[in-house]
Structure 1
Amino acid sequence: MKRIIGGALAASVLLLGACTTAPTTPPARPSAWAAPEAIVAPSSFSGVHGLAIDKQGRLLAGSVVGNAIWEVDRQSGATRVMIPAMEGQADDIAVGPRGELAWTNYLMGMLRMRDSDTAPIRVVAKDLPGLNSLDFDRQSGKLYASQVFLGDALWEIDPAGQKPPRLIKKDMGGFNGFEVGPDGMLYGPLWFKGQVVKIDPANGAMTVIADGFKIPAAANLDGKGNLWVVDARSGELVRVELASGRKTVVRQLKPSLDNLAIAPDGTIYVSNMADNSVEAFDPDTGTLRTLTSGKLAVPAGLKIDGNDLFVADVFGFRQVDASTGAVRDIFRMQRDPDLEYPFSVGLSSTHFALASWFTGTVQLVDRKSLKTTAVIHGLKAPYDAMPMPDGSVIYAEIATGSITRASGPKFEHKEVIASGLGGPVQITLGKDGALYVTEAAGKLTRIPLDASAPLRAVAEGLALPEGVAQTPWGSFIVAESAARRLVEIDLATGTRRIVAEGLPIGLEGGPGMPPPYVPTGVAVGKDGTIYMTADRNNALLRIRPQR
């Protein structure tokens, strides 16, 4: 490993240290820790997307980040995993004419099927990145699927998996959650064009039915001459008359809507990725009922400032009251177009820095106005970022094993602080002015930013360390996600003690995903209370010190 330090960086670090100096008399090191308590309750899924009603009348819901298909009880809202990770990763779900089930593995670029609950799962299409929506023609048994975001194409898929996919149409504008009508036509939205359209699968001919949507995410037919559409940005549930194209906003819901399914009794089920929610709407009475929901979607990186906890929530950016657990939206996916699936958050007195390894970006947000001031693009899987008082930003890239400072106009000037790291995951600034970083390879490493000493491994042999934060008395709390525990590390002696174990952390990412996947966030309050995110059940936990 090596590091390169600039004088301006050292000065900014000293300034930041002065701004965050701990109280003169810090609390004493506790003799023990209380059991973890949830200040934000757990929820199902990890972002919820495609919905379907199968032949048995079961409501099925897919999760991409959570890599699973869930069953949701249509009366009680109780949930259970029906098809677990990794095969269960589903952006959309479709039910065939004989009750067969098909779903899209969005991140894997695959389409999987099974003919019954007891039949084996098989891959019928692959090498289609961004495979998103799908549906069967219930008359002919033909299967269609679309690529969105990581591609823009519509395909006919052989359910037997014997023939290669047939390209129907390309460059449509994001043909998202669609449905095959009884006439054999495909009805669905164009995400990037604000339209709902009809496509003839025989020749790709496309007809616009209605436009003027903000981000139409999915559309389903009700068998009564209407197409029901959910708008991800506006949060509207819209009825479109097929004959005239007339639109009626029937219900205002929250933004970040993703998909819908219409049951035989007419009930419309709607999913919301930012709230892990599934709601049931009765179009005859106008009654809306929440079956299941959560305050957080996929909680990851975490920072604390006074009584405020800031959570990078993948499908949102949230502020949580550390005392009450009350959650407030700062950003929501789709409602706020600048948001790019944040996995970590850093903060200074003036800015937030939201890092997304998935999109390769660091987003800088003014804390007062909550306006995005800059987005740094083209990074190699940035797992954490820290805004500095001089306007620069430090970020850790797991794909390059480096930590870099970006500054100047459009952050074009790049200065490598350290390289050769074994997968830098999370960073924090110590009370001594040094940078501390967890390395996926199993280390907590100290990086002096004033060039006073070489890099030094503070701790080794950790089990996939992720979140890190310093206590008021000087030790460090580290989340070992592979061991599902928190440990306290004494800098002076190198000794460790377990803070809590058996924790719901360490969500697995599946093929092609980096090992840390969703980083466990750790923060420590001024009184020594530890806060942490739990990516296996979407809770936010609090662990109080005992003295």
Structure 2
Amino acid sequence: MNRYAELAGGTVSEPQVAPGWELTRVCPPSVLFGANGMQIGPDGRLYVAQAFGSQITAIDVDSGELETISPQGGSIVGPDDFGFDDAGNLYVTEVMSARVSVRSPSGEVRVLADGMPNANGITVYQNRIFMDEHRRGGRLFELYLDGRTPRLVTDDLFGPNALMMGPDEKLYFPLVPLGEVWRVDPETGIKEKVAEGLQAPPAVKFNPAGELIVPQARTGEIVRIDVQSGAKTVIAQVRPGIDNLVFSADGRLFVSHFIDGGVAEVATDGSSSERILIAAGFVGPWGVACDPSGPLYLGDGLSLATVDAGGDVSRLGGILDERFPGFIQGIAPGRAGELWITTARGDVVRYRLRDRSFDVLAKRLQPLYGIAAADPDAAVVAGVESGSLIRVDDTGQTTTLVTGLSRPSDVLNVGDGTYFVSEMETGRVVSVNAQGQISPVLDGLQKPKG
């Protein structure tokens, strides 16, 4: 099963091509929409949250069989982390909706708390529910199943994430941007630093022996930390982009990757060998571009990826890199060795392959999707909500070329000042000439994108 077949009810058919054309699959379909928080459920299965796909999936860790617990389009939106209580209730942080929901064992979902920006980490200890907000000035709360007002445990935290109660009955949590682990007394709110010098730690967990285990997203190292001295010991090394980890009751370690949706059981015997449960894939991708030098480039949201002729994928940069411009959507070839990029917050960016550097040329224009090179020194972007094409030059100067398009999703420069544009709302492709005249080229499509 893959995520596309799941959305289509298992009825996905192979694409058909017109006579004279040949279609070759370069990469297989991805199984999950990324992989974020994880927990072992009451049934012994591994539950995986997928924030960018609004889906929760359960995995039988022995057979590999998958079941969608909360589907895309369901009541739970953007699940990032979750925990179970003794009754089997599932508490879920919805990072994009600023809320926490609870799903009963029968499948009923209701909002437990809202007004919590970047609701992220959550843990359940002896049926007590604790969650935090992954942001500057983040707060940590205790929530109540009966709907009482959440109790603030501590605040003014810089980027807390997946948390867990320790054997000392203090809540442990990472501060991701600072590379630190802290703990707080849930009754008094008194907190103290446990460890520092980590590389973007996204989570903390305790293994069955009561040892503190922390992954490092930037390096892929997983370390054991002595909570008294702060000393670190590497117990496993995997690829960067770790989101979370969890231990089974018998001490098996499972790791998720937000960067590519992979999930694996990882050995802690020094070999770091992986038993793949979910193969690495793509979170999207949202954009595709071919560089004149040959490789295929993908705007995969949280990373910029490249695919060679054999289908091997590598990541040129990701959201944890200091200069990475943000969530990538549109991507197009520019001059030799350069790419044009749009981001989810409306930035237009030029990327140089030689030194992997990003130049942000225009910031927060509006919601942007597709992008195309207009000439060596400028690009044209599709303003999806304004229904416009906008030219952006390498000084950041913007010029609106045309308005009146119906949710344009992508744009292609076909020469002579003419652009082809796909319109999601009308289901058609139109041409826009140098005078701004819009003419239909193809219709009868369903939400055309690229």
Q: What is the TM-score when the length of structure 2 is the normalising length?
A: 0.88
- Matched residue, 1:96: 85
Give the aligned residue type for 1:463: Q
Aligned with residue 105 of structure 1, among 94, 100, 112: 94
Against the structure 1 CA distance between its residues 111 and 236, is the aligned structure 2 distance closer, same or farther, given a 3 Å change threshold? Answer: same
Work out the CA distance in 1 between the residues paired with 2:384 and 2:152. 36
CA contact (8 A) 1:266 1:283 kept: no
1:305 deviates by 3.7
1:464 deviates by 1.4
Give the aligned residue type for 1:158: Y
Q: Describe the superposition over 1:333-372 as per-residue Cα deviations: whole angstroms up to 9, x where unpaired.
A: 3246514121221111232122122x33222101333221
- Matched residue, 2:237: 252
Give the SS at the match of 1:436. strand
- Matched residue, 1:17: none
CA contact (8 A) 2:382 2:388 kept: yes
Aligned with residue 308 of structure 1, among 292, 295, 298: 295
Does 1:123 pair with 2:111? yes
Does 1:463 pair with 2:443? no
> Which stretch shows the higher mean deviation, 64-73 or 142-151?
142-151
- Matched residue, 1:343: 329
- Matched residue, 2:14: none
Work out the CA distance in 2 between the residues paired with 1:213 and 1:399. 41
What aligned pairs does 1:85-484 form with structure 2 within 5 A after superposition?
A: 85=72, 86-88=74-76, 89-116=78-105, 118-138=106-126, 141-149=127-135, 152-160=138-146, 162-284=147-269, 286-289=271-274, 290-305=276-291, 307-321=294-308, 323-335=309-321, 337-350=323-336, 351-357=338-344, 359-374=345-360, 376-407=362-393, 409=395, 411=396, 413-442=397-426, 443-449=428-434, 451=435, 454-467=437-450
CA contact (8 A) 1:225 1:243 kept: no
Does 1:83 pair with 2:70? yes
Give the aligned residue type for 2:432: I
Give the aligned residue type for 1:466: K
Give the SS at the match of 1:46. coil
Against the structure 1 CA distance between its residues 349 and 326, is the aligned structure 2 distance closer, same or farther, given a 3 Å change threshold? Answer: same
Give the SS at the match of 1:430. strand
1:78 deviates by 3.6
CA contact (8 A) 1:175 1:191 kept: yes
CA contact (8 A) 1:232 1:335 kept: no
Against the structure 1 CA distance between its residues 296 and 376, is the aligned structure 2 distance closer, same or farther, given a 3 Å change threshold? Answer: same
Give the aligned residue type for 2:88: G
Against the structure 1 CA distance between its residues 119 and 69, is the aligned structure 2 distance closer, same or farther, given a 3 Å change threshold? Answer: closer
Give the SS at the match of 1:393. strand
Q: Describe the superposition over 1:506-532 as per-residue Cα deviations: whole angstroms up to 9, x where unpaired.
A: xxxxxxxxxxxxxxxxxxxxxxxxxxx
For this pair of structures, how many residues does the alignment match? Answer: 428
Give the aligned residue type for 1:51: M
Does 1:65 pair with 2:48? no
Q: Describe the superposition over 1:206-247 as per-residue Cα deviations: whole angstroms up to 9, x where unpaired.
A: 210000012110010124342111111111111101122111
What percent of counterpart residues are identical? 25
Against the structure 1 CA distance between its residues 387 and 170, is the aligned structure 2 distance closer, same or farther, given a 3 Å change threshold? Answer: farther
Give the SS at the match of 1:65. helix
CA contact (8 A) 1:298 1:315 kept: no
Q: Describe the superposition over 1:222-277 as per-residue Cα deviations: whole angstroms up to 9, x where unpaired.
A: 24342111111111111101122111122221111101111111112111122211
Q: Describe the superposition over 1:49-96 as per-residue Cα deviations: whole angstroms up to 9, x where unpaired.
A: 001011221111110111111112212434332221233442012121
Against the structure 1 CA distance between its residues 376 and 153, is the aligned structure 2 distance closer, same or farther, given a 3 Å change threshold? Answer: farther
Against the structure 1 CA distance between its residues 137 and 74, is the aligned structure 2 distance closer, same or farther, given a 3 Å change threshold? Answer: same
Give the aligned residue type for 1:59: L
- Matched residue, 2:5: none
Output the aligned Cα RMSD: 2.3
Work out the CA distance in 2 between the residues paired with 1:397 and 1:454. 17
Q: Describe the superposition over 1:97-133 as per-residue Cα deviations: whole angstroms up to 9, x where unpaired.
A: 33321111211222121232x2422221123231111
Give the aligned residue type for 1:61: V
Against the structure 1 CA distance between its residues 30 and 71, is the aligned structure 2 distance closer, same or farther, given a 3 Å change threshold? Answer: closer
CA contact (8 A) 1:130 1:150 kept: no
CA contact (8 A) 2:236 2:272 kept: no
1:280 deviates by 1.3
Against the structure 1 CA distance between its residues 317 and 408, is the aligned structure 2 distance closer, same or farther, given a 3 Å change threshold? Answer: closer
CA contact (8 A) 2:200 2:217 kept: yes
Work out the CA distance in 1 between the residues paired with 2:359 and 2:288. 21
Work out the CA distance in 1 between the residues paired with 2:374 and 2:217. 34
Give the aligned residue type for 1:253: V
Work out the CA distance in 2 between the residues paired with 1:303 and 1:87. 35
- Could you list the structure 1 runs, at least 4 aligned residues long, displaced by more than 6 angstroms after superposition: none
Q: Which runs of 5+ in 2 are unaligned?
A: 1-16
Work out the CA distance in 2 between the residues paired with 1:78 and 1:332. 30
Work out the CA distance in 2 between the residues paired with 1:279 and 1:94. 20
Work out the CA distance in 1 between the residues paired with 2:299 and 2:120. 24
* Higher Cα radius of gyration: 1
Give the aligned residue type for 1:462: L
Work out the CA distance in 1 between the residues paired with 2:405 and 2:154. 45
Work out the CA distance in 1 between the residues paired with 2:199 and 2:272. 25
Work out the CA distance in 2 between the residues paired with 1:397 and 1:356. 12
Work out the CA distance in 1 between the residues paired with 2:135 and 2:412. 33
CA contact (8 A) 2:137 2:158 kept: no
